[in-house]
Amino acid sequence: MIAFNSADLATLAPEIFLLGATCAILLIDLFLKPSQRNVTHVLALLALVVTAVLLWRGASAPRLLAFNGMFVRDGVAAILKLFIVLTTALVFLYSRSYMRERKLLVGEFYLLLLFATLGMMLLVSAGSLVTVYLGLELLTLSSYALVALNRDSVLSSEAAIKYFVLGALASGMLLYGMSMLYGATATLDLAKIHAVADFSAASPHRTLLAFGLVFLVAGIGFKLGAAPFHMWLPDVYHGAPTSITLFISSGSKLAAVGMAYRLLEGALGGMSGDWTLMLSVLAVLSLAVGNVVAIAQTNLKRMLAYSTISHIGFLLLGFINGTAAGLAAALFYMICYALMAAAAFGVIMLLARAGFEAEEIDDFKGLNRRSPWYAGMMAITMFSLAGVPPLFGFFAKLMVLKVVIDAGHLWLAIVAIIFAIVGLFYYLRVVKVMYFDAPADDSELALPADLPFRWALSLNALALVVLGVAWSPLLDWCNQALAASLSASP
């Protein structure tokens, strides 16, 4: 029997506020003229700021369950939600000039992103298979519409169709795996599944659990963009408006990590010996495919798409460890990647203008002569993505490699290092083009006059330097959150 407890509403205060604020913005936007779209922009940012404050106030609270265990509030959820809200706010700050020039600055852009953010927040706090699927579908349905927002672009429409078809297939696989878990355990609660699931040879549900696990890993692999489930990623990154690509590459990846943690460790932690083997295969394939194919790309957005695949390979290495330290390293790595991806796509949007997307690598030729400051910001981002010390990306990779070696998988660490060295080539190629190639023309670079955009982008890139020096507090926060979450789990 499900009993309603009014205290549950306080546990969901950030989500309830964001839902209410989004609905209010929806109604207000109906009465605004296109020239008044800045009102929607300010209200959307304000909603995210208040949501972040509510999340921060509850970040240090003990682990709580709401609605009969369907919703979990713990340290892991708090970290992921705060950075999800941060990346969505960066999307809003970076997008206003870019979307206005393409006549895409419409209310639907803000509302779909806010609903997607709500879906991500539900997903990372899921305590039930029902909540997992609810949050996932709210995120993905909003994402499909966002990718297709530019209806006049054939490339965007094609990307949206591919994303929808393959996303529906992945959601179906995930749902099929969940149905098998329910059939084997007779419960939808993740904690109860963790307690009931028995993968021993004597278990009568061994075959059903094995099939369910395979489908779950396949669904998670697609949502993360891990090889060989990466087919959608390059086309969607390339075809979607760069603002939406930024969102998919940062916020939605944080949510996918939360989903993987809830399903694999939260529900099937007792079967870790089996899913870590599957993730090892996905990690090696992602590192190989991502780094090798990225070398052949001339389009920067497609190069960053394959770069994402390689970074997902590094992320999965943290899950292979299976301990609190390994999962904390994976969480730390995903936060690092979200900030790096936001900065990289932010520079692309900064240099773009009406009729010019600045998404080819050759478009960055001679950038240092035109704008030394933003050439420096892009160089910092590329070096951090490549894992060059002392930037944030280096320490994220180092932490993951450390936990992999501690788990006794030295060969995996060696494979990761080799492909990380391979990946240096395509990142350094971008830096070489900016600093050593002559610009394609002698015209001055016209940067947008949107000062919040330029300040936010500069702070985003400089944060990669600051966090490269002072990374310890963030890693400690991740370690404490994972240790507390795992110790509170059954």
The reported pLDDT for the residue numbered 248 is 94
Distance CA 318, CA 378 (A): 27
**CB-based contacts of 488: which residues, under 8 Å, 6+ apart?**
63, 74
Distance CA 15, CA 114 (A): 11
Give pLDDT tens digits for 71-111. 999 999 999 999 999 999 999 999 998 998 888 889 999 99
Distance CA 349, CA 157 (A): 20
Query: H/E element holding 46?
Result: helix 37-57
pLDDT along the chain (490 residues), means of 10: 70 94 95 89 96 89 86 92 96 92 90 96 94 94 94 90 92 93 90 77 74 92 91 92 94 93 88 88 95 94 95 93 88 95 94 80 89 93 94 94 91 94 94 88 62 92 94 92 77
Would you report the helix, strand and coil content of the chain in percent, each value rounded to 5?
Answer: 75, 5, 20
Token pair listed for 457: 């982008």
The reported pLDDT for the residue numbered 200 is 55
The reported pLDDT for the residue numbered 115 is 96
In contact, 158 and 149? CB cutoff 8 Å: no
The reported pLDDT for the residue numbered 199 is 59
The reported pLDDT for the residue numbered 448 is 66
Contacts from 455-459 at CB under 8 Å and sequence distance 24+?
456/90, 456/93, 456/94, 456/346, 457/94, 457/343, 457/346, 457/347, 457/350, 457/374, 457/377, 458/373, 458/377
3-state DSSP call for residue 248? helix
The reported pLDDT for the residue numbered 201 is 53
**CB-based contacts of 485: which residues, under 8 Å, 6+ apart?**
63, 74, 75, 76
**Among the listed residues 42, 242, 220, 215, the one whose alpha carbon sits nearest the alpha carbon of residue 132:** 220
Count other C-beta atoms under 10 Å from residue 200's C-beta.
Answer: 7
Distance CA 378, CA 366 (A): 13
Token pair listed for 163: 């994303």
The reported pLDDT for the residue numbered 28 is 95
Query: H/E element holding 91?
Result: helix 75-101
The reported pLDDT for the residue numbered 323 is 83
Distance CA 65, CA 315 (A): 28
**CB-based contacts of 111: which residues, under 8 Å, 6+ apart?**
22, 25, 26, 29
